[in-house]
Structure 1
């Protein structure tokens, strides 16, 4: 009986045409390319694990952190092969899903045959000639995160190495004024952050007055809504600051998130005009009161004559 390795070599040499299926009407059809490719890779791996070689596979990083929608290259280099023949070599990338723990094939190639479950994934054939099996992923999404394994089979040797891919989404933030109606007629500064990932985020408020150069942390009259989840897996949050503005006050909404190298600081100088108008109204009121008092005093003096 022929050995498993012998079958694998003969199958590989024949262009993956081995497994066949017979239909009920007697016709013979080829198995799907994906099934044939997977079986060929399995045979090669079995043979490779049964023998030792000098093949070395190295991923130079342990962790790669990228941003949502980035075009990413996950590095992987191999060396020590007896002879570089891409027609009989196999390259496979798979991902361990962080939630389910399942092994998910991302890209695999054997000779001229490819299986690419992840849309747009690619390993450059030109770079393979130089021992570079780096995986290219366009427009990475949150679902692309996980532990990636680079597996190279150069029969009779097989080696692999892994890297963790972390995908972050940077918050988009804005600040604006909102005035409530009804009793109290309150004014609020509103700070909104959209589309961030992971969920943990911190929003604080600071204030700078016209006569104090240093920012002061605000700890009262702050209201923050619960974090909401978007359909794409990112999050939103809104924070409110109730305002009692004085002349030339500048307010800051400070957003801190793991995707940011430095804090987002959104400033707004508000109600300066209103404060000035209130000042003018106050002076005018005092002037009117003094005028009324003078008129009353003059009238009193005239009545006494």
Structure 2
């Protein structure tokens, strides 16, 4: 009887130790899954020239496939966030996309297998400038990253020449510049930065 009792105590202690190890591993796996992955965006603001295409970077680190996840890009607005691009159930679903982005956004579906959720934005406009959020969600995990996007206008520096004189001795000045996108506003200033008034001002745009 004494031997049997001793054996039972030994078995009981062994089961408790194994149970403790199992619980510890379960907690470790749970912590690792929820804390290991994160959505990562660029450290600095993204700059693009108006009229060109741009990539807004975002990815999951470490790299895992997000093919089965939800990927949503939207603009951060003080009043209401607006949808820029949505990928869900293995396809793009942009029914509720902002109208101005229609046909200009794209996710590389092959890159989704490597955790790359970067958004390509075509034909950049000045109105596209702002803060964007990349939101990634699976059944048991979600995270987001913010992208600050700035747009730079382009155009050649203006050249001013004297185009003639009128009957009262006033000057006709000609200001020429091209390649601007978007189309700029025109204002004449003197050397001190004060706005000049004129009898007439004509603006001519050459179409290509």
- Match among 125, 135, 139 for residue 155 of structure 1: 139
- Match among 110, 119, 134 for residue 88 of structure 2: 110
Aligned pair in 2 of structure 1 residues 179, 200: CA closer, same or farther (>3 Å)? closer
Does the 8 Å CA contact 1:62/1:162 hold for their aligned counterparts?
A: no
Shift of 1:62: 3.2
Does the 8 Å CA contact 2:34/2:141 hold for their aligned counterparts?
A: yes
Q: Does 1:66 align with 2:48?
A: yes
Shift of 1:85: 5.6
What CA deviation, in whole Å up to 9, does each residue of 1:78-121 have, x standing for no partner?
Answer: 1247x6361x3111110124xx6431111111132322322220
Report 1:130-279 matches (<5 A): 130-172=114-156, 173-184=158-169, 186-192=170-176, 195=180, 219=191, 224=196
The structure richer in strand per residue is 1
Long gaps (5+) in structure 1: 1-50, 206-218, 227-235, 237-305
Shift of 1:178: 1.9
Please tell me the root mean square deviation across aligned C-alpha atoms, in Å. Answer: 3.5
1:133 counterpart SS class? coil
Counterpart of 2:73? 93
Report 1:69-88 matches (<5 A): 69-80=51-62, 84=65, 86=67, 88=68
Shift of 1:73: 0.5
Shift of 1:202: 10
Work out the CA distance in 2 between the residues paired with 1:156 and 1:137: 29
Work out the CA distance in 2 between the residues paired with 1:75 and 1:187: 52
Structure 2-normalised TM-score? 0.62
Work out the CA distance in 1 between the residues paired with 2:186 and 2:171: 25
Aligned pair in 2 of structure 1 residues 196, 177: CA closer, same or farther (>3 Å)? farther
What CA deviation, in whole Å up to 9, does each residue of 1:150-191 have, x standing for no partner?
Answer: 11112201010101111121234343332132122x445433
Counterpart of 2:206? none
- How many equivalent pairs are there? 158
Long gaps (5+) in structure 2: 1-32, 204-208
Counterpart of 2:108? 124
Does the 8 Å CA contact 1:53/1:157 hold for their aligned counterparts?
A: no
Structure 1-normalised TM-score? 0.44
